[in-house]
Structures are given as structure tokens and as C-alpha cells.
Amino acid sequence: MMRVRFAPSPTGYLHIGGARTFIFNWLYARRHGGTMVLRIDDTDIERNTQTSLDSIFDGLNWLDLGWDEFYRQSDRLDLHTKSAWAIFEKGMAYRDFTPASAAPAEDSPGGWLFNPGMRELSREESDRRAAAGEPFVLRYRVPRETRADVVVPDLVYGNVTKATADLEDFALLRSTGVPTYHMASCADDADLRITHILRGQEHLANTFKHVLIFEALGVDVPKTAHLPLLMAPDGAKLSKRKHGPVVSVTTYRDAGFLPHAFVNFVSLLGWSPKNDIEKMTREQMIELFSLEGINRANATINFTDEDPFDPKAVWLNAEHLRSLELDDLAAQLGPFVTQQFPNATPEKIRAVTPLIRERIRLLREVNTVADFFFLDQLAPYDPAELIPQKGDAAMAKRVLTKAREVLADVPAFNHDSLDAALRGAAEELKIKAGQMFQPIRVAACGRKNAPPLFETLEVLGKETVLPRLDAALGIL
RNA sequence: GGCGCUAUCGUCUAAGGGUUAGGACAAGGCCCUCUCAAGGCUUAAAUACGGGUUCGAAUCCCGUUAGCGCUACCA
């Protein structure tokens, strides 16, 4: 049975990179009928915050993908500690009594591999000093004498090799007795029977240590698949600290991305279905997902200070928006509209939906594209806008007067009668249809760009349109 | 510094010994059109550099350069 896991540490909000790791794990599990484990790696009590944990759940829940099992690493501390001591008992780790401040300089030749003298300490001596209360860290004893290198058979990067001579004796337990990340992570992966680890490439270099720990634990080494990193346009690895909320998934949510559109966009960063398909349903993504399609080069997300969203993400969102059923889209739009226009009714929003479906790319844009449907009073606009192409103020006045008259007694205030009435009026005035429509559009919507006129007037309704025509006439 | 990884249009990517190096986003143009969109057509745009191997290299090998990552008693 395949088992994968996503193991965030609650030290900041869920960002795009984390979301992508989650998504790839999820996709891989679903593709192969495996189990998706969510594990909160919260062993770093110093940096953990509840806010961060909440934010991670916010983000994950919004993604709407779900998971099968849940664990908190802090509940499993005992396991990690016992695992470390088991390694010690096998003679594969030793106590290092060197005070943290006395550690050799990182670049002193050979010295950084371990602290001199400590790995040769006899067991008796080691036990005696420990019993005397001398603080120590527990270090893994890298078998440099018996083994030339460690090989990571990565599913994405292939066999990656590192000489044991280049591996330092890394810590398993801190001097406080608390397990390090490497120890805790491997002990948990082993205990939870994780079979495949998909994670960011920043962990590739750590994996050599992990292989050693798994072997020391006497378990099968999980297969790893490292993912290329997500970079910011400034060339640095995407990070919450450096790039701020633009990388938080809640930023996407609040701007009106559809969860699936976001998932779709993110999945295309470092992975390709290799068939030129970009817009995919969830089912298609599951069907097409494979480790073969994962790239090895880092991917840059294209955002700027002015626009935090990659244009392709926005485009994909627009695509998914357009393929939503009108009722669904109206429901998605609801919260965004009522946030700004508390009096907007669901019926009104539903009526407006077909008119804006192809005109918004983010849900929140409903408030700028369709505000005039929900406003009682139009914001002031430049009367010059009312003047049609190749026309003048006099023409605008004639158009609006005529429109006022025709619309007042049009048989029904719907698309077809409005079409007939207004085209007829244009003919009577001997002007082009466009010259007829533009002043009316501006009078009704308060600006030049809006959805098609007849539908717009129909949704606005006679009781709204007539006063707005009067108002326009008033400022001409 | 040491070690590891990577390098195709501005961005995401396809092609993995033989292609006019393909697609998408963004940009430009044209068409459609009551405006704005959407849609259709179209233009410009890339194999980091240098050596090999080969009849033939974006693709395999070596080197250079550049970028990124790791190098903690952080995760």
C-alpha cells in the first residue's frame, strides 16, 4: 500500500510552495490509490505559533482536496527519542560533550565533520560523563571507514551520490534531549510506514542523512521524489519572510481564485502532463499525474509589486470561471458582492452572473465590473462620456431624450423588445446603432465599458434605467 | 569555501540522437462586434558558452559560466 505524507511545520502561513508539495503528494496518492497523511511537524516549540497552524489549515481546507490521516509530531516525541537511543545502543551514534560554543569553525579543513575526540570516547567514559550530568548532543556516527558513499535513488533526480567523507556527524538529539528534525522526521516516516516522500528539492542534500537514519532504524528507506523549487522573480527561493503575503495561498483565496484553478496553476509549476493540455479537471489531473512529468529545473512564479498574481494563474482562473455552471458561479460570487454591497440579493446576483462571466478573471472583480448593478446612486462621471463617436452633445441629448421616451413605453423591458425599440429609434434619428447605444450605456452604467446593452438594461430594470437617463440629461 | 542539483522564447513548458525546436500565458497586428470582454486568425520571441562523441547533438560526455540548494544542538 502506498503511503505519502505532507509535513509542514507551523512557523508561517501556508505558501504556494507548500501548497504545491501538498498537491503533488495528494495527486500521487490519488493516482495510485494510496493514503495521504497530513503530519504537523511542530517540534520547534520556539517558532511554532497557533496562528500559523490555523493559517495552514485555512489554506489546506480551501484547496478542498482533503487527506486521509492526521498526526502531530509533538504527540510522538517519545517515539523519536526512543528511536535515537536505539541507534545509540547499536553503536551507530555517540555522545558529543563539546559545548556548542566550542564547535570547530565550519571551514576548518576536515574539522567540521565532527568534534575531535568525541566519537572515540569509550562507552564507559561516555556513560560516566552523562551520569555526572554533563550535557551532550547525540550524534550519528557516519561510517566513513566502512562505506565510501551514500546513494539516494531519487525518483526525479536519479541516483544522487555523496561521499561519506563529505558528510558530517549530524545531531540526532539536542543537548536538551529533544530530537532534531532529521531524527523526528525519519522516526515518524518509518513508524507511519511512509513509502514515498515527495518534497521540495531543498531537502535533497538532507536525504543522505535520512538514508543513514532509516538504515540505522532497520527499516526500508522510503522512495524519495524531490521537487524543483519555486522561485520568485528576484531569483530567490520563494519564502514567506522575503516575499510576504503574496506567496500565501489565502491571498489567492481572498482575491477570488477558484480553489481548483489555483490547484491547476500550481500543478503546472514543475510538472507537465506533456500533452499541451493546460486547463484540467481534477479527474484529468489525477489521471495524468506521474513522476516522469516532473521537471528538474526550478520554476519562477511571475509576479510583480503591482500584481501579486502570475498572469497565467489569472488566465487559468478565468478559464475555470467560464466553465462553471451559472448557479455555481453566482454562489461563488455571492460573498464577494455582499461584502461590498450588503443589500445585493441572491436573485440580483444570479441575474448579473451571465453578463459578467466572460468579463471577470477573479471573483472579486465582480465589484468593479458590475458595481452599477448594485449601486443605488451612480458615482459621478464625466458628461463628455455621454457623447457618441462622431457626435456631439446635441446628438447625445437627442439620443437620451428619444431613449427616455421609447423606453418609457416599451411593451416589455426585456432583451428583444429593447433591441427592437432602440434600433428603431436609431433609424428614426438617422444615426448608427452604436451612436444610439453608447450614450444610453454610459447613462445606465456610468462608464463606457459594460456588458451588452439590452441584457444590461433588462437586469437593471425600467425603474432604475429611466431615472439614470434623466440624471444624464440633467448633466449634459 | 566544501558538497549537491540545474540550465529551451520575458514566464510556465514540449521535443530525450534526425522536427521549419511545438504549445500556453503575456506582448503586437488583423477579423468578429453596440462598448468591454470572449472567440478566431496571425507576428515577434529560446536550446548559456566552449570543446568532444557521432553521418547527424537542444538531446550523450567533459570543461567553463551562471543560478539555486545544503553545509546548525532550524525545519
State whether the beta carbon of A37 lies below 7 angstroms from any atom of strand B: no
Query: Closest nt to A46 (CA→C1')?
Result: B74
A32 backbone dihedrals φ, ψ, rounded to 5°: -115, 20
Give the nucleotide nearest to A205 (CA→C1').
B70
CB-strand contact A156/B, under 7 Å: no
A162 contact to strand B (CB, 7 A limit): yes
Residue A21: pLDDT band with limits 50, 70, 90:
very high
With beta carbons less than 8 A apart as the criterion, state whether A151 and A40 touch. Answer: no
- A233 CA to B3 C1' distance (Å): 27
Predicted confidence (pLDDT) per residue in A342-352, tens digit: 999 999 999 99
Q: What is the pLDDT of residue A101?
A: 67
Per mean pLDDT, which range of A124-138, A242-256, A398-412 is the poorest? Answer: A242-256
Q: Is the CB of A205 under 7 A from strand B?
A: yes
Tell me which architecture the domain covering A383-475 has in CATH: Orthogonal Bundle (1.10)
SS3 percent helix, strand, coil of chain A, rounded to 5, is 50, 10, 35
Q: What is the pLDDT of residue A48?
A: 85
pLDDT at A244: 76
CATH class of A3-71+186-231: alpha beta
Closest residue to B8 measured CA to C1′ = A297
Which nt has its C1' nearest the CA of A100? B73
Q: What is the pLDDT of residues A340-390, one digit of tens each?
A: 999 999 999 999 999 999 999 999 999 999 999 999 999 999 999 999 988
Asked if pLDDT for residue A256 goes beyond 80, the answer is: yes
pLDDT given for residue A106 in this prediction: 45
Distance CA A30, CA A153 (A): 23
Greater confidence (A167 vs A43) lies with A167
Cβ atoms A214, A285 nearer than 8 A: no
Quote the CA–CA distance of A101 and A380 in Å, as a whole number: 69
The nt closest to A99 (CA vs C1′) is B73
Q: Is pLDDT larger for residue A306 or for residue A85?
A: A85
Provide the pLDDT for residue A104: 53
The three three-digit cell numbers of residue A323, written as one number: 466553465
Give the pLDDT confidence score for residue A395 in this predicted structure. 93
What nine digits make up the cell of A32?
495510485
Q: Is the CB of A417 within 7 Å of strand B?
A: no
Mean pLDDT across chain A, nearest whole number?
Answer: 93
Give strand letter and number of the nucleotide nearest A440 (CA to C1').
B34
Structure confidence at residue A154 (pLDDT): 96
Task: Please tell me whether any atom of strand B lies within 7 Å of the Cβ of A202.
Answer: yes
- Whether CB of A188 is under 7 Å from strand B: the answer is no
Q: Which of A145-154, A228-237, A380-389 has the lowest mean pLDDT?
A: A228-237
Distance CA A433, CA A427 (A): 8
Residue A238 near residue A25, CB atoms below 8 Å? no
More confident residue, A57 or A119: A57
pLDDT at A107 over 70: no
pLDDT of residue A146 exceeding 80, the answer is yes
Distance A213 CA to B62 C1' (A): 35
User: Tell me, in Å, how far CA of A407 is from C1' of B63?
Assistant: 80
pLDDT of A103: 56
pLDDT for A235: 79
| ipTM of the complex model | 0.94
Q: What is the mean pLDDT of residues A187-213?
A: 96
The whole-number pLDDT of residue A430 equals: 92
Query: How many residues in chain A?
Result: 476
CATH number of the structural domain A324-373? 1.10.8
CATH-assigned architecture of domain A240-320? Orthogonal Bundle (1.10)
Query: Do the beta carbons of residue A217 and residue A189 sit within 8 Å?
Result: no
In angstroms, the CA of A20 and the C1' of B27 are apart by 29
Residues 6+ apart with CB under 8 A from A22: A6, A8, A60, A63, A65
Distance A33 CA to B47 C1' (A): 38
Chain A residues 224-243 within 7 Å (CB) of strand B? 228-229, 231, 235-237
Q: How far is the CA of A207 from the C1' of B57 (A)?
A: 34
Non-local CB neighbours of A325 within 8 Å, separated by 6+ positions = none
Asked whether this chain's domains A79-173 and A324-373 adopt the same fold, the reply is no
A425 and A402 Cβ atoms separated by less than 8 Å? yes
Mean pLDDT lowest among A137-141, A158-162, A304-308 = A304-308
A181 nearest nucleotide via C1' and CA: B75
Question: So where are chain A's domains?
Answer: 3-71+186-231, 79-173, 240-320, 324-373, 383-475
Per-residue pLDDT, averaged over A462-466, amounts to 95
**A99 in contact with nucleic chain B (CB within 7 A):** yes
A70 pLDDT more than 50: yes
- One DSSP character per residue, A353-383 reads HHHHTTT-SSGGGHHHHSHHHH-SSPPP--G
* Number of other residues whose CB lies within 10 A of the CB of residue A101: 5
pTM: 0.94
Cell 465599458: give the residue: A449
Q: How far is the CA of A276 from the C1' of B66 (A)?
A: 30
Q: Please report, as a single letter, which amino acid is at residue A150.
A: V
Tell me which CATH code domain A79-173 carries: 3.90.800.10
- Which bases of chain B are contacted by protein, using any atom under 7 A from a CB? 1-8, 10-15, 22-26, 34-39, 67-75
Q: Does the pLDDT of residue A149 top 70, yes or no?
A: yes
- Secondary structure E strands in A252-331: 299-300
In terms of DSSP bridges, do strands A223-227 and A230-231 run parallel, antiparallel, or are they unpaired? unpaired
